Amino acid sequence: MIFVAPGQVIAVDENLQHAGYSLLVHPDFFRNYPLSKNIKKIGFFSYSVNEALHLSEKEQSIIVNIFRNLHDELRTNIDDLSQDLLVTQIELLLNYCNRFYKRQFVSQKTISNNLLENLERLLNEYFDTDSGLYKGLPTVQYLAGQLHYSPRYLSDMLRSFTGQSAQQHIQNKVIEKAKEILSVSNESVAEIAYQLGFEHPQSFNKLFRKKTNVSPLQFRRSFN
């Protein structure tokens, strides 16, 4: 299964045979329903096509049944409950897809190990080569591009594997590197902040205190 958000462009190879279901919904159809707000929080509408949801036979049966319910409702005479029932079925479809994506992440243990190793390697290389000084802090977009994932898919995978998003992994590595520098060098806090990629030392101080409950200077003094 693939999911396309409004405004995204897709192309179909006319030389290939395609079979399946397509569900096209105008965003206004959800207006005045909770789904209009909740659907913006669903990550898989930002995934790339190669990050599709692969269904088991049992999962496929569940999804096909929902599509049949939608099809039957659309063929029924419209009444004051038609829209409510259609929105309910679509919400059910999306909730099942959320569950199946989580299952797909959990079942990819080999991928999870490789992903975490590659992520650690990338972050180490970034900070060991002083890239932060010239490029700023590493971004989720940068890591996703290096690992060949879409940013949202990468964050959702990491959250499934570790309970933390890609941004949290970046922040943890920043703090780890900052502690290392603070404990062995005499560089000022501002110099360390710029070296790690912060534009403003105050932002570094704020993140460090948030993650450790002490300021960078207080941390450094603990080694004296």
pLDDT tens sequence across 40-64: 889 999 998 889 999 999 999 999 9
Q: What is the pLDDT of residue 109?
A: 67
Of 140, 131, 175, which Cα lies nearest the Cα of 43? 140
What value does the mean pLDDT of the chain take?
Answer: 91
The pTM for the full model equals 0.81
Q: Domains (ranges, CATH) in the chain?
A: 27-106 (no CATH), 109-221 (1.10.10.60)
In this structure, how many other beta carbons lie within 10 angstroms of the beta carbon of residue 78? 9
Give yes or no for residue 18 having a pLDDT over 80.
Answer: no
Locate 37 and state its tokens: 């707000």
Model confidence over 84-135: pLDDT tens digits? Answer: 999 999 999 999 999 999 999 887 766 777 889 999 999 999 998 888 778 8
R_g (Cα) of the chain, nearest Å: 23
Give yes or no for residue 10 having a pLDDT over 80.
Answer: no
